[in-house]
Amino acid sequence: MTAALVAGLLAGYGIAVPVGAVGTYLVSLTARTSLRTGVCAALGIATADGLYALAATVGGSALASVLRPVMRPLHWVCVLVLLALAAWAAATAVRQYRGHRLATRSDPVPPSPARAYLALLGITLLNPTTVVYFAALVLGSRSGEAAGAAEQTVFVTAAFAASASWQVLLAGGGALLGRALTGHRGRLVTALVASGVMVALAVRMAAAPA
C-alpha cells in the first residue's frame, strides 16, 4: 500500500511539476480573475491527470494477461519511454530557455470558475504525453498484473492529490510566484526537476525484477 502511495505521488508530481503553456495560463488566469477561479482551473488539470492515471491503471490490468509472454522486454521498453520523456522535457526546456521563448495564453473575457475548470480539464486531456507517461509507469512497474483494487485506488488517488497540490500551489502563489516559475529560468528549473523525477522512476523500475 505504501509503495502504491509513493508511486502515485511521484507519478503525479512528475507530470505536474513542469510549468509549460498550461501552467503559465493557470497562473496568468489566477492573476487576472480570482483565487477561486484559479483553484477550479487547477482542479481541472488535476482531474485530467487523475483520469489518465485511472485509465492507465485499468488498461494495464486488462493488458497484463495478454502481454505476460512479452512482459520482460516490455518492461525495458517502458523504462526507455520514461527516459525518453525525461530527455525530451529537459531538451525542450533548455532549447526554449536559450531561445528566450515563453508560451502564454490570454482570454479577452475571464472565464467563470466552472468554465475555467472545464477548459483546463479539456486542454490537459488533449495532451498525449500524459497518457503515455502514466501507461509507461503502470505497465513498466507491472502494477496492472500485481496490484489489487486497493493499491490501484491508492495509486490513482495519490497521483491526483500530487497533481492537485502542485496546481493549486501555482494558482495560489499569486503574480510574484507566477513570474518566478513561469519566467525563462523558472520554467527551465521546473522542467529539469521533473525530468529528474522521471529518471528516478525509470531507475527504480529498472532495478525492480521484470
Domain that holds residue 94: 2-207
Give pLDDT, residue 117.
Answer: 95
Enter the DSSP assignment of 69: G
Give pLDDT, residue 70.
Answer: 63
Contacts of residue 20, Cβ cutoff 8 Å, sequence gap at least 6: 103, 187, 191
* Grid cell digits, residue 178: 507566477
Q: How many domains does the chain have?
A: 1
The whole-model pTM stands at: 0.64
Rounded to whole angstroms, the Cα distance separating 29 from 34 reads: 8
Give pLDDT, residue 43.
Answer: 95
Give pLDDT, residue 68.
Answer: 60
Rounded to whole angstroms, the Cα distance separating 16 from 22 reads: 10
Q: Which residues of the chain have pLDDT under 50?
A: 102-107, 143-145, 175
Cβ burial, residue 86 (10 Å; 0-12/13-18/19+): buried
Whether 152 and 61 have beta carbons less than 8 Å apart is answered as: yes
Give pLDDT, residue 143.
Answer: 47
Neighbouring CB atoms inside 10 A of 175's CB total 12
- Pseudo-torsion of CA 151, 128, 94, 137, nearest 10°? 20
Whether 178 and 32 have beta carbons less than 8 Å apart is answered as: no
Whether 14 and 55 have beta carbons less than 8 Å apart is answered as: no
Give pLDDT, residue 46.
Answer: 93
Contacts of residue 196, Cβ cutoff 8 Å, sequence gap at least 6: 86
Neighbouring CB atoms inside 10 A of 111's CB total 18
